[in-house]
A and B are shown apart, each in its own frame.
Chain A
Amino acid sequence: MLKNRIIPCLDVKNGRVVKGINFIDLKDAGDPVEQAKIYSDGGADEICFLDITASNENRDIIYDVVEKTSKKCFVPLTVGGGIRSVEDINKLLNCGADKVSINTAAVENSKVVIDSSKKFGSQCIVVAIDAKKNGEKWEVFTHGGRNNSGIDALEYARQMEESGAGELLVTSMDRDGTQVGYDIDLMSKISSKVNIPVIASGGVGNLDHLVDGIKLGKASAVLAASIFHYGKHSVKEAKDYLDSKGIPVRL
């Protein structure tokens, strides 16, 4: 039976791990290579790096981080943040990333998703959707949550599947950093809309939120940062808890 995945996410800035509250007020909390290794040894099903300020700053450090990590971690590694082109994707994959997650570039030009999934295969193309509720619908935000594209998130999710995305990483902008739980409504609506796996992100504060993301949000995988990163819970604890709630996990 296919297991639901738990994916610790490390937000990386200038080669160091940080996690912001609603994308601002960053705290420095360690070396990404060592952190990733701790997570993979602890049973993480995948590791995710998000280079959060990559659009504005020197990006080359992340390549070095990815290269070092991929020599130590033998579980899938997803890297996102600031990816603009097929060439950027090529470079990250060559450094040892297994998947890339594309956000702003996919909104601005879906050709990046079409071309890269053709060239490298859908299996390594994750489209990251940052969505914020506006009335009855959700709108897609770009540039690390700074710009509202006005695009309907559900319709966009379907388009990205069609363009060749292998997975969708859906982050609720309203919930990110709040620790009050995933936006279940958003997750389940998107998951029902597409036939590709959805990774839920944004808002995890306790282990029940992970359970909800899978059971109610219909996500194939759950991504979280702070609950793991500041030692509140280990990945092992999270998996044991999910298992106790009848969710299939790799133990």
Chain B
Amino acid sequence: MNVTIVDYNSGNISSVINSFKEVAKDKVTIEVTSDLNKIKSCDKVVLPGQGSFKSCVDALNKIKGLTDILNEFAITNKKPLLGICVGFQMFADIGYEENETKGLGWISGKVSKIDNQNGKFKLPHIGWNQINIVKDSKIFKDIENNSHMYFVHSYELVPNDKKVISATTDYSSNIVCSVEKENIFGTQFHPEKSDRIGLKIIDNFINL
């Protein structure tokens, strides 16, 4: 089996690479690439993303054909894909960071700024927060409810269809922090930075 981490200049992805390699050991090949053919033929895709919604979408669109290949992989062929942080936010139809920007449209909904309630909540939401698991998700196998995960973000994905939500976290309001829609998985938190429990989520994804 091989898992591909999409390298599309979306900011710092070394931690994602290190964590997947740590979990995969020698059993699974971890490829880091923007090569369309390699992405097309691999078994699973990881879509990381740091920085703003707009900068990530722009970076994705800069690589000709990449969005089409990802659509084919996740929507047509229904192969497992995991989005992390902005990689997850890009599943939405639209994002409002910097300018209004069109997302991948896989999860109907929008990405907007977290309400800081007039400064009561500091932004970015940085640090360890507990996840409230609201539905069984394959990536949460052996993950206890209320586990701590590492977050760093100022924007949140608000899906229209609440059925896709697999976990929320409490910061200002109930922020959606994980989704599962058929073969599509996403986490707002960083499993690659969430200690052993985060590595377990990565392990679950690899072993899907």
Contact = CB atoms under 8 A, between A and B. Distances in A.
A71 B20 CA distance: 10
A3 interface: yes
A167 B192 contact: no
Interface string B2-30: 00000000011011001101100000000
Contacts of A95: 14
Interface string A134-168: 00000000000000000000000000000000110
B11 A121 contact: yes
Contacts of B52: 121
Interface of B: 11-12, 14-15, 18-19, 21-22, 50-52, 55, 116, 119, 122-130, 148, 150-154, 170-171, 192-196, 198-199
Contacts of A197: 122, 124, 126-127
A76 B126 CA distance: 11
Contacts of A3: 127-129, 148
Contacts of A94: 12, 14
Given A71-B22, A96-B18, A167-B126, 11 more contacts: A5-B127, A74-B192, A120-B50, A120-B51, A122-B124, A166-B126, A196-B123, A196-B124, A220-B126, A221-B127, A250-B148
A98 B126 contact: no
5 closest pairs, A vs B, by CB? A121-B51, A93-B12, A123-B152, A250-B128, A96-B14
A57 to B, nearest CB: 25
Contacts, number: 99
A1 interface: yes
Contacts of A195: 116, 119, 122-123
Contacts of B195: 40, 74-75
A166 B152 contact: yes
B200 to A, nearest CB: 11
A204 interface: no
Given A96-B14, A98-B12, A74 B196 contact: yes
B126 A75 contact: no
Interface in A87-143: 93-98, 118-124
Contacts of B12: 93-94, 97-98, 120, 124
Interface in A12-46: 40, 45
A76 B198 CA distance: 12
Interface of A: 1-5, 40, 45, 70-71, 74-76, 93-98, 118-124, 166-167, 195-197, 220-221, 250
A187 to B, nearest CB: 14
A43 B92 CA distance: 34
Contacts of A166: 124, 126, 152
Contact of B129 (A1, A74, A118): A1
A167 B152 CA distance: 11
Nearest to B171: A2
From B21, B130, B198, name the one whose CB has the most chain A CB atoms within 10 angstroms: B130
A112 B88 CA distance: 28
Nearest to B123: A195
Contacts of B125: 2
Nearest to B154: A122
B194 A45 contact: no
12 contacts: A1-B129, A2-B128, A40-B195, A70-B18, A71-B22, A75-B193, A96-B14, A123-B126, A123-B152, A195-B119, A197-B122, A197-B127
A70 B55 CA distance: 25
Nearest to B125: A2
